[in-house]
Amino acid sequence: MSEQSLSLDQVLALKHGSTGEVVNVDEEVTKLVVFSLGEDWFAFRGDMVKEILIDNEVFFLPGCPASLEGVINVRGDIESVVHLRAVLGYPLASTLLSSRILLGHGKSMRSGIRVDRVEDVLDVPQSRFQPPPHTIAAPFKGIVTGIVTGIVTQGTQTISVLDMDALFEDYRAGLR
Amino acid sequence: MDDADSPLQTLALVEFRVGDCRLAVEASSVVSLLEGPSHASHSSVSRLLGLPETSEVARRVLVILAGGKQRSVQVDGPVELRDVPVNSIYPLPELILSRMAINGARALVLMETVAIVVVDLSRLLVAAHSVGATQSGE
């Protein structure tokens, strides 16, 4: 027997790799909360998303831009809700049944974030993160510039990983 | 239980409207409520708050204590005195504070289905009159 023996779970994890890639089971993984806006997939780091809310009543507030949907009461705490579609420059659509509010906690700010659909929660090894492209395709230009920290490919989908702190800071400063 | 969390504790607020927006001011700053035609000497609450002017006809005039002086401000009705449980009053979340276009917004009251924005009209009136006094050379 070799000195560094694998557990059965580790062996099975290796065998289940559908693409046949060799996975370093000791490699650090990052949890991602993957969601979609229309056909496009995005993610926030899992440690920034405290909760996924399904059916909270949103209170409309006067004097707010269309990208600020209102506030929600989460067990006695009041949180703002931003419409990520509007923040990222997507056209606003009526709220879908699949829509969810991600309760995001940044370093200095927190808010609910409305997305069209939560697609998955993934544990992604560091080696699968690719840097954001230098040239961003036309539909995304100006939308996600500066807030994409990496790209992850999952099957046929490309997931843009967003920096929640940068998003909040930009939004607070009125840049989005 | 903390005093502020007690459901028995209330804060008196005077609720008013600007168009469809429901707003309120601390009752302790309101001297009186007047009814009658609008007058040029009354400040417009829409202008003070930075909201669009409304064509509402049910005008009321709140007389507010601002910087030791009584100042009148024209609001839309209905105007109601409410004793609001303290546990229904919340500070404004940071993103709301930074992006809300209502001047002087200080807090939120969440009722069953609506949110009421509590504003500080006294501070806004003091600021408006000090700017007016500077411009007129008072």
Distance from CA of A7 to the nearest CA of B (A): 48
Cα A62 to chain centroid distance, Å, stands at 28
Distance from CA of A133 to the nearest CA of B (A): 30
Q: Which residues of B touch A68 (CB under 8 A)?
A: 95-96, 99-100
Q: Which residues of chain B have pLDDT under 50?
A: 1, 138
User: Which residue range is the domain that position B45 belongs to?
Assistant: 3-136
Does residue A167 lie in a domain region?
A: yes
The residues facing A135 across adjacent strands are none
* Chain A interface, best mutation among B96, B102, B106, B124, by max A CB count within 10 A: B96
Q: Provide φ and ψ at A163, rounded to 5°.
A: -90, 105
Counted across chains A and B, CB pairs separated by less than 8 A come out at 77
Distance from CA of B49 to the nearest CA of A (A): 9
For residue A64, what is the nearest residue in chain B, using CA coordinates? B100
Cα B62 to chain centroid distance, Å, stands at 9
pLDDT digits (tens, 9 = 90+) for B19-51: 888 999 999 999 999 886 666 667 788 889 998
Does residue A6 lie in a domain region?
A: no
Q: How many domains does chain B have?
A: 1
pLDDT of residue B138: 47
User: Which residue range is the domain that position A68 belongs to?
Assistant: 26-172
State percent of chain A over pLDDT 90: 53
Q: What is the pTM of this model?
A: 0.80
Q: Which residues of A touch B51 (CB under 8 A)?
A: 62-63
**Nearest-by-Cβ selection for B98 from A59, A70, A172:** A172
Q: How far apart are CA B90 and CA B41, in angstroms?
A: 34
Q: How many domains does chain A have?
A: 1
Distance from CA of B50 to the nearest CA of A (A): 9
How sure is the predictor about A1, in pLDDT bands with cuts at 50, 70 and 90?
A: very low
Task: Tell me how far CA of residue B77 lies from CA of A63, A91, B59, B108, in angstroms.
Answer: 18, 35, 6, 19
B5 secondary structure, DSSP code: G
pLDDT of residue A118: 96
State percent of chain A over pLDDT 70: 79
pLDDT digits (tens, 9 = 90+) for A61-116: 988 998 999 999 999 899 999 999 999 888 887 777 889 999 999 888 999 999 99
pLDDT of residue A100: 95
Q: Answer yes or no: do B108 and A61 touch at CB < 8 A.
A: yes
Q: Which residues of B touch A87 (CB under 8 A)?
A: none
- CATH number where A146 lies: 2.40.50.180
Does residue A8 lie in a domain region?
A: no
Q: How far apart are CA A56 and CA B97, in angstroms?
A: 21
Q: Provide φ and ψ at B78, rounded to 5°.
A: -70, 150
3-state helix, strand, coil in chain B (%, to 5): 25, 45, 30
For residue A68, what is the nearest residue in chain B, using CA coordinates? B96
For residue B50, what is the nearest residue in chain A, using CA coordinates? A63
pLDDT of residue B39: 63
